[in-house]
Amino acid sequence: MHRFGQAHSRADQIQRSLGLSALVGMVATIWLGLFITPPDQFMGDLVRLIYIHPPLAWVAFIAYGMNFLASLAYLWPRTRDLRWDQLAGASAEVGVLFTGLTLVTGSIWGRPAWGTWWTWDPLLTTTALLFVLYLGYLALRRVPDDQELRARRSAIAALIAFIDVPIVYFAVLWWKSLHQAPTVLNPTTHKTYIHGSMAWTLLLGFVAFTLTYAWMVMIRYRLGAIETRALKTQISSALRDRQLEGSHE
Amino acid sequence: MIRDALHIARKDLRIEWRTRVTAYQVIPFAVVIIVLFGFALGPDPQRLEPAAPGVFWLAVLLASVLGVQRSVAIELREGAIDGLRLAGFDPAGIFLGKLCALSGQLVILEVLLGVVTAIVFQVSLASFWLLIVATLVATLGIVAVGLLYGVLLASSRVRETLLPLLFFPVIAPVLIAGTKTWQAAIAKHASTGLGWLELLVAFGVVYCCIGIVSFGPLMEDA
């Protein structure tokens, strides 16, 4: 009991320091991004979205990578453990959230920069498909069933989805390149001189968002563990009650 | 494995021969979709012709969901799947057998649907070898993914609603590549369709391999 308590408090400590550093990183990114870095010569204040949009997409990819690795670890007989399944689920949930945010921020940037909320650009299209692929995965995870069965089913579904991502990307890339001239990206973006403070802010954005990801996954993972424990306790207490009822009769 | 696959394929095709579900329900459904798309796009042949390959493949995908659900449902009734396992069938053989049977039915559907699309959308088909090879390979990929998800969801009560959500995003590349090869064939530029054919082959091989490896563990849960 004592050891369990110790482990618990250590996890609490890690979670708290992760949360704190994520918060500090976020505040610093916002402050640098909004007030310190200069506006772009061509795009003006719109360029400030660059401090959050790429980091959001980066976190989404990390999340799906982690989901894939955790699912593999669950399927591998030597490392089979329900904790991998919980990690896979937690990571996918955060991944879907960040993919959604990537799409939204991309759209907000696309409207003034490209003149449209949406374009069938390969990266955009792949991201949108990723979003629906993993929405399906999360829906599958919500189907109530025996825990081990659900874990195995989810792990295989995660493999099917993850393997599809490069195929989708290449299909969409060729589809565009054969279909019409490349999307008219704002040519200035390629020429924009990245100011020193802009580069640092972007780098800080990556770190801050990665920390936020780790913090969110940790909370979700621990919440999942608590849910499982609560379910088991409920079942065993219900069994005990039933036995007591039997002994009274 | 091959012998098991042949047994299962023969069994599935015999069930279809006796019940005629694909022939009387799934094929007419696909034809209805083609006609509805005709209404949605309007009668202008200049708009219909370029849309024909995409509409054809969308109709195939929608019909294939029904095919997959049917193929899985016949194993769930009266513990048929347990019977197959008790009879000592190799899970990979079961997967391959069901793959062959369902692909065969879908190919018949695609031939009929291709003719209907060509007539209704006023398209003159050309480069038949490319059309045939691309359609065969694409069908294997579609059915492999469909069966995987079908059996994955077999034990759940929401499989009818969840299957399309899981299935369609994964086979999006088949829709793109299938449409592109058909467009290349119709435009008589078969060489531009070869890259897409390679993508269809890669997709089919990857998902058939996953099916062969993972069908055993998935069947235990079904």
- Supply the ipTM of this predicted assembly: 0.87
- What is the reported pLDDT for A191? 45
- What is the torsional sign of CA B95, B101, B105, B106? positive
Per-residue DSSP letters for A146-159? -HHHHHHHHHHHHH
Give the contacts of A91 (CB within 8 A, at least 6 positions apart). Answer: A63, A64, A66, A67, A70, A217
Q: How far is A167 from chain B (nearest CA, A)?
A: 7
What pLDDT tens digit does each residue of chain A (249 aa) get?
455 556 678 888 999 999 999 999 999 999 988 888 888 777 778 888 888 898 999 999 999 999 999 999 999 989 888 899 999 999 999 999 999 999 999 888 888 888 888 888 888 888 999 999 999 999 999 888 888 888 999 999 999 999 988 888 888 888 776 544 433 344 444 444 566 788 888 889 999 999 999 999 999 999 988 888 888 888 888 888 888 877 665
Interchain proximity A178–B180, CB inside 8 Å: yes
Which residues from chain B sit within 8 angstroms of residue A145, using beta carbons? 155-156
- What is the reported pLDDT for A181? 41
Whether B105 has a pLDDT exceeding 50, the answer reads: yes
> Mean of the pLDDT values across residues B90-94?
90
Residue of A nearest to B181 (CA): A175
Work out the mean pLDDT of chain B and round it to a whole number: 90
Q: Which of residues 143-162 of A touch B (CB under 8 A)?
A: 143, 145, 149, 152-153, 156-157, 159-161
Q: Is A84 on the interface with B (CB under 8 A)?
A: no
d(CA A63, CA A93) in angstroms, rounded, equals 8
Give the residue numbers in B contacting A (CB under 8 Å), as ranges.
145, 148-149, 152-153, 155-158, 162, 165-166, 169-170, 172-173, 176-177, 180, 192, 195-196, 199, 202-203, 206-207, 210, 214, 217-218, 221
Domain that holds residue B86: 2-221
Q: How far is A69 from chain B (nearest CA, A)?
A: 17
Which residues from chain B sit within 8 angstroms of residue A140, using beta carbons? 152-153, 162, 166
Distances (CA, A) of B59 to A224, B113, B131: 41, 9, 16
- What is the reported pLDDT for A49? 84
Q: How far is A147 from chain B (nearest CA, A)?
A: 12
Choose the weakest-confidence range: A138-147, A237-246, B16-25, B68-77: A237-246
Whether B58 has a pLDDT exceeding 90, the answer reads: yes
Q: Is A170 on the interface with B (CB under 8 A)?
A: yes
Our measurement of the distance from residue B137's CA atom to the centroid of its chain's CA atoms, rounded to an integer in Å, reads: 10
Report yes or no: B76 and B84 within 8 Å, Cβ to Cβ: no
Query: What is the phi/psi pair of residue A44, to 5°?
Result: 65, -140
Interchain proximity A156–B169, CB inside 8 Å: no
- What is the reported pLDDT for B140? 96
d(CA A91, CA B153) in angstroms, rounded, equals 22
Q: Is A175 on the interface with B (CB under 8 A)?
A: yes
Which position has the higher pLDDT, A170 or B142? B142
> Mean of the pLDDT values across residues B89-94?
89
Report yes or no: A154 and A141 within 8 Å, Cβ to Cβ: yes
Q: What's the whole-model pTM score? A: 0.85
- What is the reported pLDDT for A4? 53
Domains along chain A with CATH numbers: 21-185+193-248 (1.20.120)
Report yes or no: B187 and B161 within 8 Å, Cβ to Cβ: no
> Mean of the pLDDT values across residues B49-76?
93
Which residues from chain A sit within 8 angstroms of residue B155, using beta carbons? 145, 149
- What is the reported pLDDT for A3? 53
Q: Both tokens of residue A213?
A: 């990801």
Interchain proximity B170–A161, CB inside 8 Å: yes
Distances (CA, A) of B14 to B19, B20, B90, B184: 9, 10, 20, 37
Count of structural domains, chain B: 1
Q: Is A133 on the interface with B (CB under 8 A)?
A: yes
d(CA B140, CA B126) in angstroms, rounded, equals 22
Residue of A nearest to B213 (CA): A156
